Structure 1
Amino acid sequence: MDKNHRDVMKRIRDLTAQNIAVEKMFVQSTYLNKQGHSQPMYYMNRDGFTLLVVGFTGKKALNFKLKYIEAFNSMENQIRNYGGFQIPNNMSEALQLAANQAKEMEEMRPKALFAEAVQTSKTDILVGQLAKILKQNGIDIGANRLFNWLRENGYLIKQQGMNFNTPTQKAMDLKLFRIKENTIVHSDGHTTINKTPKVTGIGQVFFVNKFLKDDKPVFG
């Protein structure tokens, strides 16, 4: 903060003299200066540092205060958006609150596991693999139904032919799939190319949001 050591020491002494609770935030000690003389100093915890800086002026002190206000506002917004803290008034309310919280955590657990699995995935996966992960996390769907949903919603081509079940241009533009091509040599010598759609990391996150939001997809 570019403050003179002597001024900082005086500020700390003034703070500790004003309120006994502040004394716990600062511990007086000594250090040896360049001349080898013992000089007073203070150790402080985070609360003590915050209390000390709030009283300072200058550009660096102002930046600290602005960040402190930003953090406080962020906390307030989180409480407002996701619900404040409930304080039970008696044992009955405490037990009911604990039961409600346990139920909410259990309901959220499949979504949390699924989101974590997708977030940590670093490889492309087959559509059937995505269906299995969804099934394990409470989405009632198999590979065939997932393929059908992807076709009906414009992510895979549904017209019969050589491009059947390959990604649509929309899906490719969104980088939801990659196409794996395999060359197959038939007994008569001719070759064909087999195209397999694989869900990218971006695609996995995209479809996670589709399947886990409140208005879940409806399967035919």
Structure 2
Amino acid sequence: MLMCACCEETGRDNHQALFCDPQFPYEDVVSARKNDPAHSIQVKVKYQPGNLGVDLDAIDINRGLVVKAVLPDGQLAEWNKINPDSAIRPYDKIFKVNGKVGTVQELESFIVSSSPDLHLEFRRPQRFEAKLRRPGSLGVRLHYKKSSMGVLVSEVLEDGLATVWNINNPTRVIAAGDRILEVNGEALSPEEMVEKLSLEEEVSLLVLHYNQDPIPIRGI
């Protein structure tokens, strides 16, 4: 089986000025089952430094900041009350700030330095189940931290079950930047999911697909 998994034990995983790090409830995983196509959501607020009120996962350096939780006292919570049809929820991803793209560090910097008008563009993922059955390698590289929202797919290799799935399911493609939230119906810790993926002959994955390319790497 070819399934490379990388776990970061230490390192910066979120922006402390914007959010804390509460545990997100399992019902948020359940709500992620709805199979809508990936789409963008526009949010505009008068930014109050330090009061955006969101907990973010920054593990995918080149593809944006994934929402872990909208905190009850903050500007995004207020936005959600006023704009229920475009409310921000867990697993949405900030990929553009004030019209600018960048690495997660750059996006965080754009938010902190924004005043007074803050325009955030979120990406809401498509949710689907992918069923992979051995023999054969999964053909993916995975990345996570202990506090990650699921397990990040950092690369889909040319040879493997994931590529075979993609060929047979062009509307439900597994791609770099996607998140795996469940394995065989279980919402586990990232470490437990990776272990289960390495052992099971048949796996059903709950996948979040953002349909988004990474930002171009800038030359030096």
Q: Structure 1 or 2: larger strand share?
A: 2
* TM-score above 0.5, yes or no: no
Coarse TM-score class (shorter-chain normalised): under 0.3
Q: Give the TM-score normalised by the residue count of structure 2.
A: 0.18
User: Which of the pair has more CA radius of gyration?
Assistant: 1
